Structure 1
Amino acid sequence: MSANGKVRVRRIYEEPAPDDGARVLVDRLWPRGVSKARAALDEWCKQVAPSTELCKWYGHDPELFAEFGRRYRAELVEPERAAALEHLRELAGEGRPLTLLTATKRPEISEAEVLAGLLGGRAR
């Protein structure tokens, strides 16, 4: 949990919860089988997503998560990604919960998890 206790990571396939606050999809691609209405998003922040090359290298292999996090954090200094990360920081600082959404089957080893750590924590 973050210092303000308000950043969480969830799968986009889960039903929205009343305490989700701002719901932001952080994947580059739209998730299969999810309508815009069902997603109940406040935003789709695809600019913050890791590069296609990094995603292909990583392949969601749990043994590679630490290195993925290191490489992804390095990508987040690129101007477009840095601006998107700053926007997420602003959302996290608004005093309401921020829920980072991803389509991955294991959100605990996803870019959303790395982002939650950078934003000050994670709550499930």
Structure 2
Amino acid sequence: MRNLSIAVLLVVFSYIPTSSAGQFSADAFIAECLSDSINAEQKQKCRGFFYGLISKKQNLLTRDETDGVVDRAMNNRTPTASYAAVTKRTLGVDEICVPSDLSYDDFKKEFDQYKEHTKKDILTVESITAALAKAYSC
């Protein structure tokens, strides 16, 4: 009976499609977000993504060491290689103040201004984060 149950489960699970979460590319998502032809639902997703980038940067720059060992370990589980806080030295950013009511258009306006000012292609996670850090530094 067990063998039959296991065989049925294996057959059922073999027909379930695999998750496509591993195929996500942040740079491709940023390029999609900065295109001119996106709908309102995509704008909301992009707003959340950009807000997440700058919130992560803010967390790295203003780390509170009063947390316990377990809290610090849990907070450090997210890889931070793309968000190196060392860039605060070159940017002159010590703290980031992010308003909670930012819209997609606010982010897009900042990216357009940064792109025009620096003459750089900002379609990467690092450059988007740097642009936001410069725009919203306290």
> TM-score of the superposition, structure 1-length normalised?
0.30
Question: Which gives a bigger RCO, structure 1 or 2 (Cα 8 Å, sep 6+)?
Answer: 1
* Structure with greater strand percent: 1
Larger Rg: 2
More helix by share: 2
